Copies of this chain bind each other. A is one copy, B any other.
Amino acid sequence: MKKLINGVDTVLSESLDGFCAAHADIVTLGEERKFVRRATLTPGKVALVSGGGSGHEPLHAGFVGHGMLDAACPGQVFTSPTPDQMLAAAAAVEQGGGVLFIVKNYEGDVMNFEMAAEMASGEVMTVVTNDDVAVENSDFSTGRRGVAGTLIVEKVVGAAAEAGADLAACKALGDRVNARTRSMGIALTSCTVPAAGKPTFTLAEDEMEMGVGIHGEPGRRRVKLMPAAGIAAELIEAIAGDLGAEARGDAILLVNGFGGTPAMELYVMYENARAELEKRGVRIARSLVGTYVTSLEMAGCSLTVTMLDEEIARHWDAPVHTAALRWKM
């Protein structure tokens, strides 16, 4: 395992310390590193709290700030954070408008946030994201995973909360954005969980994992490495197929790198995905290309499509000032 760390026991704490020091104008680290919160809170606003296992940086702490989250709870690498973290975060950022948990659909995350919601003193609602269409037979599993689409939910609901939407409205909007969002990804190489010290899976030099999860979970199947056009076609087929009749009109296209794939390749994927979507009558009205929801140093990428309407587009365009996403301020 080759990583820029001092040890597997300190990687998380040092990384959080560094993150909060580098972005001290935006964020503050909570006690015992239980959460990362905005440096400045807005009285009365609904407080958005997310979190999940670490290793997906910049998700979620990189999206704490004006126009997005109020706090993020970092778990151990690939392990859900614990209810004490969520309780501490909620207590720190709740400003009288209630708390909205934004949770990626993994049993660990869902159960831990659920326990926190049960134990919390104030009003709490929860949006669970589940945009990963790689999981085909969701009746026979715990359902679709929440992946890169979570960032779009956080951005859009964050803007609505900033604009004064109340807790129920934020929850409804979050559910609506999630329902209009689909993702799927592929991996070229494995990630290595620091504490495990060895790759989570192995792929031959000519293989890729189609439909991989952001923890390196296996996807639909292992296939021979394909050209970018073929990968884009299969991912967009899965996404558009699942959206069905909704896949018409304006969309956000997010091409998300998993950590080890450079921008050059992401833009190649963007170009191929764009062509596929336009063939199907989807117009790319907004684009985001970069490394946002990662799986440590895994090479690969995911495509995410969110079907826009006027409200979602307006909130997407609204100012945002976080460590990893910033515009108009």
User: Would A265 and B229 count as touching, CB distance under 8 A?
Assistant: no
Using A57-B264, A261-B297 as known contacts, say yes or no to A274 and B15 having CB atoms under 8 A apart.
Answer: no
User: Would A54 and B264 count as touching, CB distance under 8 A?
Assistant: yes
User: Would B55 and A264 count as touching, CB distance under 8 A?
Assistant: yes
Contacts of A208 in B (CB 8 A): 2
Using A18-B289, A260-B299, A329-B328 as known contacts, say yes or no to A4 and B274 having CB atoms under 8 A apart.
Answer: no
How far is B288's CA from A262's CA once the two chains are assembled, in angstroms?
18
> Quick one: closest B residue to A25, CB to CB?
B287
> Quick one: closest B residue to A258, CB to CB?
B262
How far is B294's CA from A265's CA once the two chains are assembled, in angstroms?
13
User: Would B265 and A5 count as touching, CB distance under 8 A?
Assistant: yes
Interface positions of A from 259 to 314, Cβ below 8 Å from B: 259-272, 274, 284, 287-289, 291, 294, 296-297, 299-301
User: Would B263 and A62 count as touching, CB distance under 8 A?
Assistant: yes
User: Would A14 and B268 count as touching, CB distance under 8 A?
Assistant: yes
Contacts of A19 in B (CB 8 A): 267, 270, 289
A188 to chain B, nearest CB (A): 4
Contacts of A265 in B (CB 8 A): 3-5, 11, 15, 297
The interface bits of chain A over 313-328 (1 if a CB of B lies within 8 angstroms of the residue's CB, else 0) are 0000000000000111
Among the interface residues A17, A274, A294, A327, which one has the most CB atoms of the partner chain B within 10 A?
A17
Interface positions of A from 160 to 203, Cβ below 8 Å from B: 188-189
User: Would A4 and B297 count as touching, CB distance under 8 A?
Assistant: no
- Excluding A4-B301, A22-B255, A260-B260, 11 further A-B contacts by CB distance (< 8 Å) are A4-B228, A15-B267, A15-B268, A17-B271, A18-B268, A18-B270, A57-B264, A57-B267, A62-B263, A259-B262, A262-B294
- A-B pairs, top 4 by smallest CB distance, nearest first, are A18-B271, A18-B267, A57-B263, A4-B265
14 A–B pairs (Cβ distance < 8 Å), ordered by A = A4-B301, A5-B265, A7-B227, A11-B268, A14-B228, A15-B268, A16-B267, A18-B267, A18-B269, A22-B270, A22-B287, A57-B264, A57-B267, A262-B291
